[in-house]
Amino acid sequence: MSATVAGYVITKQRQPEVEGLLDLSKFDAQLRPYGFVDPKRFWPKNTVIPVCWDNPEAVTASTRDLVRRAIADSWESAANVEFAPNWGACANPDSPGIHIFWKDDPRGAGSLIGNRLDRSPRAKGMRLNPTFLNWRKACQSNVELCIQATATHEFGHAIGLNHESLRNDAPASCKNNPDVLADTSQTTDTDTLGTPYDDKSIMNYCNKMVADQTTLSEGDIKVAQIMYGPPLK
């Protein structure tokens, strides 16, 4: 059984009431060893986060299913974070949850961080690339793989993660990477001091595999579990 509160499904098997955001006083010491997170942007605990497509007609149903499976196999499998099972067309611009907009944008894919995505329509929310004709053109040799990798990275942002490569303790070789130098992501509220650097993170621009990486690093999994708890199923 479940109940709906402010547009979100609260699963009674998990918790019968909305508990709000995580009490960071309990987790700060654990958060610091892993990842690069924005604590203010976590989603409420024990909710099923709605997801909808702003322009589903831009891609085939199989492509949309590919993205859904990629998130189920990564973030949902790693931690107690759950997105709605069925992602349909957004009913209106104010529909609750994450709005995904398909666009072959030369600027690439993109996403706001965590709960800032709530009710952010079209290109203001999450943007995924369906064809790679104008960005990462090498992906045209394996579009499906790149869609999976990009979606997994962007949903890392969706749960509250920023780019690992923007950490203050990233090595100089990473800080001087052209992609990192061009990265304008805001890091003002991000928790990083004294944390080990994860060169294998799917959120790291300096990870040479990130363009076609569809699996999470050990550090990605650990921080996701600290943020939201271990998976329940």
pLDDT digits (tens, 9 = 90+) for 36-74: 666 778 898 788 999 999 999 999 999 999 999 999 999
What totals of helices (H) and strands (E) does the chain contain, helices first? 7, 8
CB 187 within 8 A of CB 27: no
142 vs 127: CA distance, rounded Å: 19
Q: pLDDT higher for 55 or 176?
A: 55
Q: What is the pLDDT of residue 95?
A: 94
Q: pLDDT higher for 99 or 46?
A: 99
Q: What is the pLDDT of residue 36?
A: 62
Q: What is the pLDDT of residue 37?
A: 66
pLDDT band for 178, please (50, 70, 90 cuts).
confident
> To the nearest whole number, what is the mean pLDDT of the chain?
80
Distances (CA, A) of 90 to 15, 68, 121, 134: 27, 15, 9, 26
Judging by beta carbons within 10 Å of its beta carbon (0-12, 13-18, 19+), is residue 49 exposed, middle or buried?
buried
CB 168 within 8 A of CB 209: no
Q: What is the pLDDT of residue 168?
A: 78
User: Is the predicted pLDDT of residue 162 greater than 70, yes or no?
Assistant: yes
Find the mean pLDDT for residues 94-118: 93
User: Is the predicted pLDDT of residue 200 greater than 70, yes or no?
Assistant: yes
User: Which pair of structure tokens corresponds to residue 153?
Assistant: 């990275």
Find the mean pLDDT for residues 108-125: 89
State percent of the chain over pLDDT 70: 78
164 vs 170: CA distance, rounded Å: 8
User: Which pair of structure tokens corresponds to residue 225?
Assistant: 């579990």
Paired residues of 225 in beta bridges: none
